[in-house]
Amino acid sequence: MDPITLGYIGIGLVVTLVVLGVPVAFATAFTGICGLMMIRGFDVTVGLAGIIPYSESAHYSLSVLPLFIAIGFLAMHAGITTSAYNAARVWVGRAPGGLATATIFASAGFAAVSGASTASTAVFTRLALPEMEKRGYDQALAAGVVAVGGTLAALIPPSAILVIYGIIVEESIGALLLAGFVPGLISILVYLLVIATVVTLKPELAPKLERTSMLEKLKTIPQLAGIMLVVGVILVGIYFGIMTPTESAAVATAIMFIMALAKKISFADLRLGLLDTVKTTVMIFMVIWGVLVFVRFLAFTGLPGMITDSVIGLDVPRWVILMAVVVLYLLMGMVLDGIGMMMLTLPVIYPAIVGLGYDPIWFGVLLVKLIEVGVVTPPVGLNCYVVNGIRPDIPLHKIFKGVAPFLVGEIVIIGIIILFPDLILFLPNMMR
């Protein structure tokens, strides 16, 4: 069989298996191994597939992943996230949609010590959603805020998905983490504007809270000190070149561990946090291994190079191709999970995008933003399913209804990222 045709069949088989519910790690590994055997034979396939788990896991850059994941789970199980939410509630609770605004700020704080979108959503479904319901907030709005707030973990450093992108395309992890900072802030501002607009149009959706004194607000500042210290270590360490991303993650993890001990975290919670870290890390590593086997297969078919040449040779402006890629990812996000979608498409799309002259750091941020829009978009909307899984009494259609106004804001954010790439690149460029 012609290798190019075999490559197309392989992509079709992977997509079919994933849609049928087969985990991405197994779907890609199975297809990659079968394809390699057809092209290169049994011995070469066994050699390639056998060496990938070690050769790819032994990279120094990959060690940053479990450290960033550990920071988030330690913060969650030590109650540091709860302190951040309480502080945000005291400071902005009186504003229109104050508790919703506090949830966005607290989600941003958790994002700054986590990097996992679903983990953030799970935490605030348990923490913020009951508080908003108790204060008379509309259930759809409250659920939508929690689901959307979780997406901030993908952009605000440390971001696990940006790290994975950097590993796959072999770009600077430090530059990618810094590049996510400004669009993360833009996302926060846009979400706050959406909340203010919705609550202004329908005040009954979010009753105002009682006033708090300045003294009460000042008392909450120590509760935020730990998160601010962790963020400062990561950003300052990477930006000024004092530490590598892995070193800054290690120092930040040590700080979070000390804070957890100071909070008198129980042995059971500490054990649970470490187990969650291991489970999440293994899941991500398995996806990486499976996809890299599939990438080797595609490389032997020559399909990525052929598609790149075809795309570059199209007689259309490059922005037309970029818009097609944006639409493709938005559509795929409705049916596929974020990491799987990125891993499946990068081997083909990334060379074409770079060949058109787009900056790979900028494209990484755009891609991650598109993926995060997918996790709140029906029919899959992974974050919405997380909310529903923890609170089955809230139907999915109500959660998607609450998310709907924020999707308009997401379009605005994507437009800003595309039209003003210097906003994303100025921090990485200054670092360089």
- What pLDDT is stored for residue 42 in this prediction? 85
- Using DSSP's 3-state secondary structure scheme, residue 213 falls into coil
Judge whether 162 and 368 are in contact, CB under 8 Å. Answer: yes
Task: Compute the Cα dihedral for 231, 232, 236, 237 and give only its sign.
Answer: negative
- What pLDDT is stored for residue 136 in this prediction? 85
Cα–Cα dist 374/360, whole Å = 21
Write out the DSSP string of 125-188. Answer: HHHHHHHHHHTT--HHHHHHHHHHHGGGGGTSSS-HHHHHHHHHHT--HHHHHHHTHHHHHHHH
Q: For the chain, state the CA radius of gyration.
A: 22
Give the total residue count for the chain: 432
List of residues 6+ apart from 317 with CB closer than 8 A: none
List of residues 6+ apart from 341 with CB closer than 8 A: 329, 332, 333, 371, 374
Mean pLDDT by runs of 10 across the 432 residues of the chain is 84 81 82 89 82 74 77 73 74 77 82 68 81 85 90 78 82 85 91 91 81 76 75 78 82 85 82 83 79 81 76 81 86 69 79 88 92 80 82 88 92 93 87 68
Q: Which two tokens stand for residue 109?
A: 């704080």
Write out the DSSP string of 384-401. Answer: HHHHHHH-TTS-HHHHHH
- What pLDDT is stored for residue 116 in this prediction? 66
Chain segment 373-419, per-residue pLDDT in tens = 888 887 767 788 888 888 888 888 899 999 999 999 999 999 999 99
pTM above the 0.85 mark?
no
Angle between helices 64-77 and 267-301 (to 10 degrees): 150
